[in-house]
A = this chain, B = another copy of it.
Amino acid sequence: MSTSAKTDQPTGMTVTTPAEREIRIERVFDAPRELVWQAHTDPDLVARWWGRGNRLDIERLEVERGGHWRFVEHGPEGVSGFEGRFREVSPRERIVQTFEWDGMPGYVVVNTTTFEDLGDGRTRVVTTSLFFTTEERDGMLSSGMEQGLSESYRALDRLLVDLA
């Protein structure tokens, strides 16, 4: 059941809530899958878009089953840490990893991200987030996450142009 759908023009990010404890986010990038994959897994590249222009320290990014990741973003409103661990890594196809913000420690989300080659030099990235409770999901939806991610993805658009 889809309880809401919103397309954020012009970036074309679509946010839906396919189940009570889930958020699904779909976005198409005008770049080949290999490049989009690198931008998600190479620490030097991640640092150039994930923080939306804010300085981002990649403290750990061990892209393999069991590996940990931890990013620290230095924004105008302060310092925010984010971390998690990889459940599954299938190169260029799929990553399953946990996500946790220092501001709500222990409130873990499982993000499953797929990278689909659209065959015309574009790539569709879909992330489904699973929360422990519906309340935690709704808290994320009301936290400004959509706007933040939308800004990150626009920065990723620009990076992909630079890399091409």
Contacts and interface: CB of A to CB of B under 8 A. Distances in A.
A33 interface: no
Contact of A132 (B65, B84, B97, B130): B130
A85 B105 contact: yes
A94 to B, nearest CB: 13
A98 B102 CA distance: 14
A112 to B, nearest CB: 10
Contacts of A65: 105
A154 interface: no
A96 interface: yes
Nearest to A65: B105
B87 A107 contact: yes
A63 to B, nearest CB: 13
B96 A106 contact: yes
Given A66-B102, A66-B105, A105-B65, A110 B85 contact: no
A29 interface: no
B106 A98 contact: yes
A96 B96 CA distance: 24
Given A130-B132, A132-B130, A132-B132, A97 B86 contact: no
Q: List the 9 closest pairs (A to B, CB-CB), nearest first.
A: A87-B106, A66-B105, A108-B108, A98-B106, A85-B106, A85-B105, A87-B105, A130-B132, A98-B108
Given A67-B105, A85-B105, A108-B108, 11 more contacts: A66-B102, A66-B105, A84-B106, A85-B106, A86-B106, A87-B107, A97-B106, A98-B106, A98-B108, A106-B110, A110-B132
